[in-house]
């Protein structure tokens, strides 16, 4: 069972609907027992970094998630701000992130004719070698983004996908059982569906 962690932030129903269309069993829940028994986890996120971290901490689930992700190596994908929360901190706020990856989150630089937030479709390209979740992405793969801040891992090998908006940035990051995507696969039609299918089908 795929568990979408419910901490009252994020577009949870849209993510669940995509898995349902794929025939992949999933549940939106904050129930510790169900999270403990999850085969895979999705950490959504929407809005401001500090608000997301505050809401997640308020659930009391972080120790359980730490154990599931860091000790039991449960596959996890973080989406949008959920991906940003995987790192240590964000220039958007003052809250500490989960620290599961050696990563900071930075604001897009002020450049002429660069509108912030970055909103809309953007092509991505695989880092080399391709991560198993992205091996089947076609060269025209593109995803839907809405963000003013971007992922900046300390280790370039943790960058899985790259995109460009004024500057080149990490569109997806990952380490071991952890993957974070800055875009919204649940809003990215066939490319997002393909990504979530790969996640659902990948062995735990």
* Stronger pLDDT, 204 or 117, i.e. the higher one: 117
Residue 25 has pLDDT above 80, yes or no: yes
By the 10 Å C-beta count (0-12 exposed, 13-18 middle, 19+ buried), 130 is classed as middle
| Residues β-bridged to residue 89 | 104
What is the 3 state secondary structure string of 81-133? HHHHCCCCEECCCCCCCCCCCCEEEEECCCCCCCCCCEEEEEECEECCCCCHH
Q: How far apart are CA 182 and CA 167, in angstroms?
A: 15
Contact 198, 132 (CB under 8 A): yes
What 3-state DSSP class applies to 136?
coil
Q: What token pair was written down for 95?
A: 């809250």
User: What is the per-residue pLDDT for 36?
Assistant: 97
The residue with tokens 């995803």 is 143
Q: What token pair was written down for 1?
A: 């069972």
User: What is the per-residue pLDDT for 204?
Assistant: 66
Question: What is the domain partition of the chain in residue ranges?
Answer: 2-201
Residue 89 has pLDDT above 90, yes or no: yes
Residue 131 has pLDDT above 90, yes or no: no
The residue with tokens 């198993």 is 132
Residue 142 has pLDDT above 80, yes or no: yes
Q: How far apart are CA 37 and CA 47, in angstroms?
A: 28
The residue with tokens 């390209």 is 125
Q: What token pair was written down for 3?
A: 């568990």
What are phi and psi for residue 123, nearest 5 degrees? Answer: -75, 150
Q: How far apart are CA 169 and CA 154, in angstroms?
A: 13
pLDDT in tens, 175-202: 999 999 999 999 999 999 999 999 999 7
Which residues are known to be catalytic? 80, 184, 186
CATH annotation of 2-201: 3.40.50.880
What are phi and psi for residue 147, nearest 5 degrees? Answer: -165, 150
């Amino acid at each position: 069972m795929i568990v979408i962690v419910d901490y009252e932030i994020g577009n949870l129903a849209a993510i669940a609907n995509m898995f349902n269309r794929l025939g992949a069993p999933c549940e939106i829940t904050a129930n510790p027992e169900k999270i403990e028994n999850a085969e895979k986890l999705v950490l959504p996120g929407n809005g401001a970094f500090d608000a997301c971290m505050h809401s997640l901490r308020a659930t009391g689930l972080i120790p359980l998630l730490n154990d599931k992700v860091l000790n039991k190596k449960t596959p996890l994908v973080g989406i949008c701000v959920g991906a940003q929360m995987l790192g240590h901190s964000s220039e958007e706020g003052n809250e500490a992130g989960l620290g599961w990856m050696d990563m900071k989150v930075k604001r897009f630089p002020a450049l002429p004719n660069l509108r912030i937030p970055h909103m809309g479709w953007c092509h991505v390209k695989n880092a080399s070698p391709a991560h198993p979740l992205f091996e089947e992405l076609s060269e025209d793969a593109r995803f839907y983004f809405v963000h003013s801040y971007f992922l900046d891992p300390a280790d370039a090998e943790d960058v899985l996908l790259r995109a460009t908006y004024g500057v080149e940035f990490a569109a997806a990051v990952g380490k071991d059982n952890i993957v974070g995507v800055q875009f919204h696969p649940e809003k990215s039609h066939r490319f997002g569906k393909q990504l979530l299918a790969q996640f659902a089908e990948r062995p735990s």
